[in-house]
Amino acid sequence: MKPSSILVTGAAGFIGFHLARRLCSDGWQVYGLDNLNDYYDPALKEARLKQLEGFKNFTFAKADIADQADMDRLFTEWKPETVVNLAAQASVPYSLENPHAYTTSNIVGFMNVIEACRHGKVKHLVFASSSSVYGANKKMPSSTSDNVDHPISLYAATKKANELMAYSYAHLFGLPCTGLRFFTVYGPWGRPDMSVFKFTKALYAGEKLDVFNYGNMRRDFTYVDDIIEGVMRVIPLIPKTDAAPYRLYNIGNNKPEELMDAIRWLEEETGIRAILNMLPLQPGDEVETCADIADLTRDTGFKPVTPLKKGIGKFVAWYRDYHPLANKPEMQA
């Protein structure tokens, strides 16, 4: 596909920022929107956005996908050919505290986006789902052919709802839709509520690391550059199936890692011994995740290339650069 116009929602978010930067570098006309909310420190989002604003082919609007008028206006003004919807309220634990944030962003917001795509005759809607939809499933690795009718968090339920909504629009209106189930994304410019970021911050602050399920957890940690490569390969791959132009893929590392190994590698990279606070499993959390990526590899040639130890090293290097205080000896006491 020749680079053309593309809208990235959640462009100041972790994955959205990396994707928008890659698209800009590859010559696309990139439109980005984000509401810059305070779910985590907006300064991090502003710092990401500042980098994107250095590209002449990047246009940004502060807007909320839950605002239908804003979505209708921006789609009419920008007329994007392709849309990647990454704006969402993320995190399993927070969905227990503030469930309405999830229905507002992930249900109402997604509805506004998909309706705007329909009326704007968008050629391809790519949207973020989550490995959380696998919920109570025990089979590993998780496949998109598995039943996912047992979500164990509201967050997972809203992401499954997005998949159903997209299928109905693909079937009814011929809107090509591809859903991507992301698996434990980490890396530079990451989200502060994710484990690698939280653990690194705690190490440098001399604080305890909250380790759930007493450390007996395995995660399919996926480095952000691998995620972006997968998304880039999916964007031009417009589904054309008979029943509905719709497709689902897992994007993961296809190699679950022990959580305690991740902590050990963080200790090596920071040079700081972790103080562990062992806790029971959180409500709504999964003990293990592992992505079956055979379909994605078959259709796009995608294969993750970043081992967890190497990715953790890159993250810690970024963290030290972004948080200069982390380099001071007193922070490592």
User: Pick the catalytic residue: 31, 94, 102, 155?
Assistant: 155
CA distances from 14 to 164, 186, 333 (A): 25, 9, 30
**Degrees (nearest 5) of the Cα angle 135, 139, 144?**
70
| List of residues 6+ apart from 171 with CB closer than 8 A | 243, 244, 246
- Rounded to whole angstroms, how far apart are CA atoms 110 and 89? 11
The residue count for the chain: 333
Whether 186 is catalytic: no
- Rounded to whole angstroms, how far apart are CA atoms 188 and 224? 8
The CB density around residue 185, as the number of other CB atoms within 10 Å, is 26
Q: Which residues pair with 29 in a beta bridge?
A: 5
Helix (H, G, I), strand (E, B), or coil: what is residue 156?
A: helix
Active site (catalytic) residues: 155
